[in-house]
Amino acid sequence: MHNNAMYQYRERFYKQYYRSQAGRSNFKSNREEKLLLDQKHFGKEILPLVDKAKDARILDIGCGYGSLLYTFKKAGYTNCIGIDLSEEQIKVAHELGIPEAKLEDLRVHLKAHLNTYDVITGMDIIEHFSKDEVIEVLDLVRDALKPDGLALFRTPNVDAPYSTVFYFGDFTHENFLNFSSATQLMENIGFSKVQVLSSTLLVQGALKDFIRRICWHIIIFFAQLTLFASGRSKSNVIFTPNLVIRVKK
C-alpha cells in the first residue's frame, strides 16, 4: 500500500483486520464452522466459473484467512497460493491448516510473476483501493496472467438494496462499482470476455432460504418498479449485494 498520509489508516486497521472485521460477523460460531460456510458459498459462487485444469496455477490476492484457498484445495486444485498484507489473517490461515497463504504485498508479487498464472482471484478486495490504485492493481493482474488466463473478482454492488450496509460496513472501503462501472473498468484495463454477474445469496436452513427467496422476489419487483417510475431501464442492473466479475486476458 502507499505510505503517504492519505493511507496511514491502513497499517493500523490491517494489523487487526481479522479480529475487527473479517472474523466479526453475525455468524455466531467458531472460525472452523465459518470456514466451512465460506467453502459452501464459494463452491456455489466461484468454482463453477473456473474453467481450468486441477493443476492450474492459481493465485488468490487479498486471500485473508484462506477460505477460498481452502475451497480450491477441497475441490481438487493442487497448485494454489494466496497472499495478503495482514499478518493476523495469515496467522489464522495457518492455524486453520492453510499454509498456502503467504504474507506478501500483492504489487511486489505480481510484478515478479509476469505471465505466470492461469487463474487470479480477488474476493472483496477491489473496494479497498482508491480508483488510481484499482487501475494499477488490475494492470498488474492482467500482466501476471498467462495468455487466455482467467481473473475473478467479487466486490460490493452499489445498486443493491441497502447497499450502505456494505458501503459503510467497513471503514477501509474506498470505492464501489455497479454493473456499468465494473464493465467500463475491466474493458479499460484491456480484459476480454468481461462478465459481470449476480452473487450467490445463501442462508442456513431450507426454510429460511425458502422464505428468503420469496422476500427477494418481492424486493426486486419493487426495485424494478422504482427504476421504471424514474424513467430508467432495468437492463444492466444487478441487485445482489455483491458483483462477481469474470474476465479473460
Calculate the average pLDDT of the chain.
Answer: 86
- Cell (9 digits) for 247: 474476465
Q: For 9-32, what is the mean pLDDT?
A: 61
Report pLDDT for 198: 87
Residue percentage of the chain with pLDDT more than 90: 55
Q: Say which residue the cell 431450507 belongs to.
A: 206
Domains plus CATH for the chain? 5-202+236-248 (3.40.50.150)
Q: Which residues contact 12 (CB under 8 A, 6 or more apart)?
A: none
Report pLDDT for 18: 60
Q: If you average pLDDT over each of 113-117, 128-132, 220-224, which comes out highest?
A: 113-117
Model pLDDT for residues 204-219, shown as the tens digit of each residue: 777 877 887 888 888 8
Contact in structure between 82 and 63 (CB atoms under 8 Å): yes
Model pLDDT for residues 76-116, shown as the tens digit of each residue: 999 999 999 888 889 999 999 999 999 999 999 999 999 99
Q: For 227-245, what is the mean pLDDT?
A: 82
Q: Which residues contact 95 (CB under 8 A, 6 or more apart)?
A: none
Q: What is the DSSP string of the chain?
A: ---SGGGHHHHHHHTTHIIIIIT-SS--S-HHHHHHHHHHHHHHHTGGG--S-TT--EEEET-TTSHHHHHHHHTT--SEEEEES-HHHHHHHHHTT-TTEEE--HHHHHHT-TT-EEEEEEET-GGGS-HHHHHHHHHHHHHHEEEEEEEEEEEEBTTSTTTHHHHSSSTT----B-HHHHHHHHHHHT-EEEEEEEPPP--SSHHHHHHHHHHHHHHHHHHHHHHHHTT--STT---SSEEEEEEE-
Work out the pLDDT band at 231, boundaries 50, 70, 90.
Answer: confident
pLDDT over threshold 80, residue 234: no
- Cell (9 digits) for 35: 470456514
Report pLDDT for 4: 46
pLDDT over threshold 60, residue 15: yes
- Cell (9 digits) for 210: 425458502
The CA radius of gyration of the chain, in Å to the nearest whole number, is: 18
Report pLDDT for 30: 78
Model pLDDT for residues 141-186, shown as the tens digit of each residue: 999 999 999 999 999 999 888 777 777 777 777 889 999 999 999 9
Residue 19 exposure: Cα atoms within 13 Å on the Cβ side? 8
Report pLDDT for 47: 97
